[in-house]
């Protein structure tokens, strides 16, 4: 068994790995950026080493958790025998895995070759086709010219999904509804892919509007054994990022479960896989199609652990140490039902802006059948430099109904003060009749937004700490709700909206973070934000609604723009946000450059009517 382990990650996953390693008597070494000096994973580890030198503080992921040379240097200096990459950051970086092995250390994960095989989604599609795994219609070839991609998208027929070939975690993806939208969406995906993955190659897939996202947890060892640990449903998503996951997937026949499990094992065997991995499928109308394979442990792995009674991090460490899988396929039993909700630092619907700042009070729910995987406590600060995940609440029940009821109650018990969070919104989703019936698809949030609004209102009024805020917000939106379309009811219950987000409404700007349909929410239209729609000084000054980095300027001084035109793109907490003009006008002056870090309310540009 491995004796000393460096965890090349942060937050809740680093804490999760440390706790399992401690139980196995493995010495743990944490690394941290200047923003994470007081982080929980730093306090839990046996040893913690900064990813910067004295007088040269480093905050960004590029300078810290993605600094391969520095991480390897620390691992050697601290006598680490192995490196666990967690998920995110370097977990699916074939080059890093290879460097770890070449340094004489153990990479807790698959081989560099296996990561590379699935790291390119285009290559993965070809491999899966050869292995007999069903694929969606699409384009996965090397010609990346805009003309070729446009032509292929037109032939596939809209809606079409543009996806970064090297992407993951919901980043670098856009749904395009028509040919006229394609060029702008392609440019956005390529820009985001280049920034996030250093690779702007994309692939195209037919978008299934009523699909379900069903994935299979696979595990393999170095002796050639490979099994699956049943399926999970991750269909409840926003911007292609999962919000609620459950295991098993509701409504599947046993024949479909078996077929998907066999296909997932075949996919893993096709690349001589070793360790934990997830094979993701889209499922619609009784058919399933290969989506991608994530060559790492995933955020939602606790629901699989709950229904199998296994510790998958322990399995990772044992397999990395050369041990064989401890059980055979027919020994993997499924017990009860589990659900997980991802708690993110973000404002309420419909804009879901990232929230940063100090957590003045945090109390996670307490229950024997409730598990909390968290990396934050009272007093911690949420930084703009990393993603918005605070932690996960996972609940188990003897059946789906019991698990859902337990999750709803746990989300109501969660208390976070000082920053915005999405627990009430997640609870509202779980409380809808459609969710309780298991009618989950990737379009769930759009299809059932009125029901979510109603249950969100009910939850708000049943929790004393949110009643005053709900009342204030309701009175604010009552006179303008007719402008907000179907989102009007939900807009009235934005009880946890940050001050920066409120100011953004008064500035009559609107953000277009590309919800799954590829268009801005009706509630964030210029009319909804400006009430009567009059032009004024607030509309002239385009200000940053949240802290982040300007990654693309779409206009220059003197340009004429129309209402809804893209002005600039910001990146905050691993998501892109497009600021658009609230009215027709001319760009009078720019006050920012590409690459600038900006703060809330910072003047970015001026727009004359």
Q: Mark 389-409 as b/e (b = at least 16 C-beta within 10 Å).
A: bbbbbbbbbeebebbbbbbbe
Catalytic site residue from 238, 296, 459, 514: 296
Q: How many CB atoms lie within 10 A of CB 55?
A: 5
DSSP 492-514: TT-TT--HHHHHHHHTT-EE---
Beta bridge partners of 549: 571, 597
- For residues 294 and 301, what is the distance between their CA atoms, to the nearest angstrom? 12
Q: How far apart are CA 406 and CA 338, in angstroms?
A: 10
Report how far residue 211's alpha carbon sits from residue 264's, in angstroms, rounded to the nearest whole number. 18
DSSP states of 425-463 = HHHHHHHSHHHHTT---TTHHHHTHHHHHHHHHHHHHHS
- 444 Cβ contact list (under 8 Å, min separation 6): 235, 236, 429, 434, 435
Residue 360's nearest CA partner among 377, 372, 343 is 377
Assess whether 371 carries a catalytic annotation: no
**Contact criterion met (CB below 8 Å) for 118 and 140:** no
Place of tokens 């040379």: 69
Nearest to 350 by CA among 217, 228, 452, 212: 452
Query: Which residues are the active-site residues?
Result: 296
């Amino acid at each position: 068994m491995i004796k000393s382990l460096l965890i090349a990650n942060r937050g809740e996953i680093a804490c999760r790995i440390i706790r399992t390693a401690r139980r196995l008597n493995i010495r743990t070494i944490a690394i941290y950026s200047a923003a994470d000096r007081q982080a929980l994973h730093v306090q839990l580890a046996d040893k913690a080493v900064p990813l910067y030198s004295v007088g040269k503080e480093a905050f960004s992921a590029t300078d810290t958790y993605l600094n391969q040379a520095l991480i390897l240097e620390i691992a050697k200096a601290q006598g680490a025998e192995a490196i666990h990459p967690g998920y995110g950051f370097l977990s699916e970086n074939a080059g890093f895995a290879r460097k770890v092995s070449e340094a004489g250390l153990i990479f807790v994960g698959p081989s560099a070759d296996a990561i590379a095989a699935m790291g390119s989604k285009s290559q993965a599609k070809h491999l899966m086709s050869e292995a007999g795994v069903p694929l969606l219609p699409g384009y996965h070839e090397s010609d990346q010219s805009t003309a070729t991609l446009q032509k292929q998208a037109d032939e596939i027929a809209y809606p079409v999904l543009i996806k970064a070939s090297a992407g993951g975690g919901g980043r670098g993806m856009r749904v395009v509804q028509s040919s006229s939208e394609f060029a702008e969406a392609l440019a956005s995906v390529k820009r985001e892919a280049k920034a996030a993955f250093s690779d702007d190659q994309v692939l195209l897939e037919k978008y299934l509007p009523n699909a379900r996202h069903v994935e299979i947890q696979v595990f393999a060892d170095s002796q050639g054994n490979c099994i699956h640990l049943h399926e999970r449903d991750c269909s409840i998503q926003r911007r292609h990022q999962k919000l609620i996951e459950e295991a098993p997937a509701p409504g599947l026949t046993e024949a479909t479960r078996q077929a998907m499990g066999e296909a997932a094992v075949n996919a893993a065997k096709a690349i001589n896989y070793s360790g934990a991995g997830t094979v993701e499928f889209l499922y619609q109308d009784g058919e399933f199609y290969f989506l991608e394979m994530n060559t790492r442990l995933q955020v939602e792995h606790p629901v699989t652990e709950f229904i199998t009674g296994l510790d998958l991090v322990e399995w990772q460490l044992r397999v990395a140490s050369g041990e064989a899988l401890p059980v055979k396929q027919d020994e993997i039993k499924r017990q009860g039902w589990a659900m997980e909700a991802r708690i993110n630092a973000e404002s309420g619907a419909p804009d879901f802006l990232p929230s940063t700042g100090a957590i003045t009070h945090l109390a996670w729910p307490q229950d024997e059948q409730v598990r909390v995987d968290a990396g934050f406590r009272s007093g911690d600060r949420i930084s703009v430099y990393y993603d918005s995940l605070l932690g996960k609440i996972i609940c188990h029940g003897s059946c789906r109904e019991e698990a859902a009821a337990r999750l709803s109650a746990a989300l109501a018990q969660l208390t976070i003060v000082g920053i915005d969070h999405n627990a009430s919104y997640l609870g509202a989703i779980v409380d809808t009749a459609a969710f309780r019936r298991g009618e989950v698809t990737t379009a769930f949030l759009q299809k059932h937004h009125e029901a979510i609004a109603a249950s969100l209102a009910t939850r708000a009024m049943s929790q004393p700490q949110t009643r005053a805020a709900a009342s204030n917000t309701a009175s604010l939106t009552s006179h303008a709700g007719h402008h907000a379309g179907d989102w009007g009811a939900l807009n009235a219950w934005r009880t946890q909206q940050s001050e920066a987000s409120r100011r953004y409404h008064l500035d009559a700007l609107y953000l277009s973070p590309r919800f799954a349909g590829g268009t801005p929410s009706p509630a964030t239209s210029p009319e909804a934000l400006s009430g009567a729609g009059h032009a004024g000084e607030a509309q002239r000054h385009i200000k940053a609604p949240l802290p982040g980095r300007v990654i693309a300027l779409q206009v220059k001084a003197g340009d004429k723009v129309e209402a809804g035109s893209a002005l600039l793109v910001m990146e905050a907490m691993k998501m892109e946000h497009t600021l658009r003009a609230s009215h027709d006008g001319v760009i009078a002056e720019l006050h920012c450059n590409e690459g600038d870090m900006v703060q809330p309310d910072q003047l970015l540009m001026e727009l004359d009517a």
